[in-house]
Amino acid sequence: PDAFLSVRDLRVRFSTEDGVVKAVDGLSFDVERGKTLGIVGESGSGKSVTNLTILGLHSKKNTAIDGEIYLDGQELVEAPEKEMEKLRGNKVAMIFQDPLTALSPYYTVGRQIAEPYMKHTGASKKEAKARAIEMLAKVGIPQPATRFNDYPHQFSGGMRQRAMIAMALICDPDLLIADEPTTALDVTVQAQILDLLKDLQQEFGSAIVFITHDLGVIANMADDLLVMYAGRAVERGSVQEVLRTPKHPYTWGLLSSMPRLGSDVNEALMPIPGSPPSLLNPPSGCPFHPRCAFKDEVAGGLCSAERPTLATGRAAACHLSDGQKQSIFIDQIKPR
């Protein structure tokens, strides 16, 4: 694979008491160095499972993973846990919605930021402390040398998020996975954190996989966009392409909740009736067909019979022809 991060036909299944959950069902995508891929979808669409799989954080117990994940040419699905430990926090780092899942209440913030640096670079305690203070300053924590000694509960929510970013970036990772990193924050702090991430990406050149349900955030952060539904990718393209001329009925629905994107799409879009399908027993054919207002436009009951594939490049996994998509979008969805 040529791309820096390349996911190929990834399948993740969990065995549960009720049966097999197909959490990710044939997912492929690429991310280039220094670029941001946004992955958007409702909860249960497989976006968080995908990121945990890249990080090797799924217990192998009751979990079957197929497909390939290449990071800088190294395959990760088959990589031994020892290898993954070397990568995590070093070459690949992550930030989550809740910094308290990353920060322990029992140790100072500074110690926790310094630790991965010592572990992965073999730096001395003193060197790691200096580097951690430098990182705290970079993420905009005032009086970083003093704040180094604070415990997480002494930080505000926004400051904890900044501290987690400092911890994630201290080893200069090539890939940063951000899973709903600003969802819990108020709008002003959210905007500050997003700006910070963009600045740091410029400085560090990391590739970012940015996972969110918020298309407004994605519009402002990502270069490329992958829309996920029921464990599958249903649409892919550059952010501008997907947001300005979305091709998949699910994306049309998602955009209906985003009236002010600065795109051509607004409230004229239709909402999505019903709820996401169970991944224990996903619908036949197109997983979106039970909720899709356009399935009767496709002849022969194809929507419930045959799974549409997602071509490479700019594409949507939908049986509607390109002409149909364009005319439905222009006539019924794009406001005049």
With contacts defined by CB under 6 A, name the span among 79-87, 180-188, 238-246, 284-292 that binds ligand SF4: 284-292
Residues 300-319 interacting with ligand SF4 (rule: CB under 6 A): 303, 308, 318-319
Does 276 participate in binding ligand SF4 (rule CB under 6 A)? no
With contacts defined by CB under 5 A, name the span among 47-55, 80-88, 132-140, 251-259 that binds Mg ion: 47-55
With contacts defined by CB under 6 A, name the span among 124-132, 154-162, 213-221, 289-297 that binds ligand SF4: 289-297
Does 48 participate in binding Mg ion (rule CB under 5 A)? yes
Closest to ligand SF4 by CB, 147 or 325: 325
Does 295 participate in binding ligand SF4 (rule CB under 6 A)? yes
Query: Is residue 309 classed exposed, middle or buried when 0-12, 13-18 and 19+ CB atoms within 10 A define those classes?
Result: exposed
Does 289 participate in binding ligand SF4 (rule CB under 6 A)? yes
Count the helix, strand and coil residues of the chain and give each as a percent rounded to the nearest 5: 40, 20, 40
The entry of ligand SF4, Mg ion, none that residue 48 binds, CB within 5 to 8 Å by partner kind: Mg ion
HEC string for 296-329: HHCHHHHHHHCCCCCCCCCEECCCCCHHHHHHHH
Closest to ligand SF4 by CB, 121 or 256: 256
The entry of Mg ion, ligand SF4, none that residue 249 binds, CB within 5 to 8 Å by partner kind: ligand SF4
Tell me how far, at minimum, the Cβ of 303 lies from ligand SF4, in Å.
3
CA dist list (Å): 60 to 65, 77, 80, 113, 151: 8, 11, 11, 28, 33
Residues 235-254 interacting with ligand SF4 (rule: CB under 6 A): 248-249
Show Cβ contacts of residue 18 under 8 Å, excluding neighbours closer than 6 positions: 280
- At 76 the three-state DSSP class reads coil
In sequence order, what are the beta bridge partners of 19? 16
The dihedral over CA atoms of 244, 250, 253, 257, expressed in degrees to the nearest 10, equals -80
Interface residues with ligand SF4 (CB under 6 A)? 248-249, 286, 288-289, 292, 294-295, 298, 303, 308, 318-320
